[in-house]
Amino acid sequence: MVKTNWFKDAFIYQIYPRSFKDSNGDGIGDIRGIISKLDYLGDLGVNAVWLSPCYKSPNDDNGYDISDYRDIMDEFGTLEDWKEMTDGLHKRGIKLIMDLVVNHTSDEHKWFRESKKSKDNPYRDYYFWRKGRGKDGKKPPNNWISRFGGSVWKYDETTGEFYLHLFSPKQPDLNWDNPKVREEVRDLVKYWLDLGVDGFRCDVITYISKVPGLPNGKLGGDDMFTHGPNIHKYLRELNDGILSKYDCMTVGEAAGVTVEQAILYTGAERRELDTVFQFEQVAANAFFQVVPRKINYLKTKRVFAKWQRGLYQKGWNSLYLENHDQPRCVSRYITDNPDMDNNFRKLSAKMLAVAVYFQQGTPYVYQGQEIGMTNLKFRDENDHSDVMSKNILRLVKKYAPFLKGYAMNALQKVGRDNARSPMQWSADKNAGFSDVEPWLRVNGNYKEINVAEALSDPDSVLNFFKKLIAVRKGNEVVRDGTYSEPPRYENSRDLYVYERELNSKKIIVACNFRGKNIDFDGSVFGSGESEVLLSNYKIEKNPAELRSLRPFECLVLRAE
Ligand code: GLC
Ligand code: CA
């Protein structure tokens, strides 16, 4: 077996199975639904799929709470369906990346059900159990705050102790300091690799090593459980023990990661992960992922540049604008603009794609992004289904009811259900997602924004994505070239211009973030031979003679 580093040439499509396509009329997306759309993925040109969790789960967090790692969620189908889907992907030259959620299990997992029973149960030490503080022992063992709000500790009557959960109380954290836990993880990774899986997206992987003794921390304990003392050791052990024996890839979800840390995680000689998702570009536009900030293009550009330069030849980046935890990019980055209309929506969805996907790294497109889907409109709190959003609303109601309006407004902008509304396949009932009313509301704009419409419109976002993927495929300048920005546009708040260069071959990208004409000097494209590889307007003159960019205009040029 030879490691081919295929992840550097991958263009990955993320599927959130619950919302992708329902095949059996229960309002919930499923694996046979995915099977019915394999040709769609093939035509798009992606060569890998990241599938959000499809394992057995009571669905407190839509599958990110796993009760059996080796079987498929009832609502999604069977292992036989999964095998058929995997074969179908492979036949089309598409690899499959599964979600690996091993910071925590479901509280309904056999390990946790055992662990709860008694202090001397053989599974006790698979999790973190601690005595409470205070006279009555009812105060949580430390001051850590859950990612979903509130304490990370939940009291359990059976043994009179608390267990640790960084996410919901139904997601108890696994104790990676226990070698048996690490063995279990290695075995389940092997199980899926032997079934033909090509890689893993490692959920919240930077949290798996906690500071021994679980002491109080600053900032709700982040410093005690993020990039903990044994993280690199555990990742290397997993890599050497199993991942290195297969030609597979890994991408770690790495909240709070800095460039320096990302190099430690992804440097090839370190044998840990292949790539990471960093969150700095998201943080530039929202605090803690939940408090939206006014979009700042200059800051966003600087974050991009910092990561491009910082990881060059030292690590490997992931390029994304959306996923199942983030709002839709046209809504987040663009619709604040009062000029927004459907035409601008299409132009800006294309422009954002160009701004990001010609950087160095592995690109990810999230289902629906390729047709320019927008945020869902929440009418009231009952429209929220996400465990995190609901918990925030519950805490606000209990401790700060006066903040309700603010919280609703924040969730409208950055709430996780925004991107989880059903995929819009057609103008038919329920957007062609299901015959019955789906588990989460369909976006009201589905008659205008849907795949069938996009297929019939040569100027659609979808057709643009197909071109973009084709242009990027196999392009060595995009894969390996340096990154730089012409100094005169580096500080622009309106335009984003960058160059990639390899062996004196260049790719130059120019994007207008604004819904109006912005002065631009086409001479940055150079005076030599050039070719427009991609643009979202008709280009009527020599790009070198351009004096402005039109609303949300973007261009990708090849220059010698
Ligand atoms: C990751 C997932 C998110 C989930 C959390 C807990 O951040 O992307 O959806 O809620 O981990 O597993
Ligand atoms: Ca279904």
The percent of the chain in helix, strand and coil, each rounded to the nearest 5, is: 40, 15, 45
Weakest-pLDDT range from 171-180, 286-295, 332-341 = 332-341
| Mean confidence (pLDDT) of the chain | 95
Q: Which two tokens stand for residue 394?
A: 């519950």
Whose CA is closest to atom 9 on ligand 1? 325
Q: State the Cα–Cα distance between residues 443 and 377, nearest whole angstrom.
A: 7
Binned at pLDDT 50, 70 and 90, residue 339 comes out as low
Q: State the Cα–Cα distance between residues 228 and 232, nearest whole angstrom.
A: 9
Answer yes or no: is pLDDT of 338 > 80: no
Residue 452 Cα, ligand 1 centroid: separation in angstroms? 31
Helix (H) or strand (E) holding 351: helix 342-357
CB of 199 closer than 8 Å to CB of 95: yes
CB of 460 closer than 8 Å to CB of 371: yes
- Dump pLDDT digits (tens) for 475-511: 999 999 999 999 999 999 999 999 999 999 999 999 9
Average pLDDT over residues 270-295: 83
- Residue position matching structure tokens 């950055």: 414
Active site residues: 203, 253
Nearest ligand, CA 168: 1
What pLDDT, on a 0 to 100 scale, did the predictor assign at position 80? Answer: 98
Nearest ligand, CA 25: 2
% the chain with pLDDT above 90: 92
% the chain with pLDDT above 70: 98
Q: State the Cα–Cα distance between residues 516 and 549, nearest whole angstrom.
A: 8
What pLDDT, on a 0 to 100 scale, did the predictor assign at position 530? Answer: 87
- Dump pLDDT digits (tens) for 349-387: 999 999 999 999 999 999 999 999 999 999 999 999 999
- Residue position matching structure tokens 């030609």: 247
- Dump pLDDT digits (tens) for 54-87: 999 999 999 999 999 999 999 999 999 999 999 9
- The per-residue DSSP string of 207-259 comes to GS-PPTT----SGGGHHHHSS-TTHHHHHHHHHHHTGGGTT-EEEEE-TT--H
DSSP state of 268: G
Answer yes or no: is pLDDT of 186 > 90: yes
Question: For the chain, which domains are there?
Answer: 7-101+317-376+421-474 (3.20.20.80), 104-173 (3.90.400.10), 181-315 (3.20.20.80), 381-419 (no CATH), 481-559 (2.60.40.1180)
Binned at pLDDT 50, 70 and 90, residue 177 comes out as very high
pTM for this one? Answer: 0.97
Residue 187 Cα, ligand 2 centroid: separation in angstroms? 30
Q: State the Cα–Cα distance between residues 34 and 40, nearest whole angstrom.
A: 10
Whose CA is closest to atom 6 on ligand 1? 64
Residue 203 Cα, ligand 1 centroid: separation in angstroms? 6
Q: How far apart are the first and last CA of the chain?
A: 38
CB of 47 closer than 8 Å to CB of 1: no
Residue among 60, 204, 366 whose CB has most ligand 1 atoms within 8 A, to mutate: 204
Residues at CB less than 6 angstroms from ligand 1 = 61, 64, 101, 167, 203-204, 253, 324-325
Q: State the Cα–Cα distance between residues 365 and 309, nearest whole angstrom.
A: 23
Binned at pLDDT 50, 70 and 90, residue 288 comes out as low
What pLDDT, on a 0 to 100 scale, did the predictor assign at position 2? Answer: 86
What pLDDT, on a 0 to 100 scale, did the predictor assign at position 283? Answer: 73
Average pLDDT over residues 330-355: 84
Residue among 322, 325, 389 whose CB has most ligand 1 atoms within 8 A, to mutate: 325
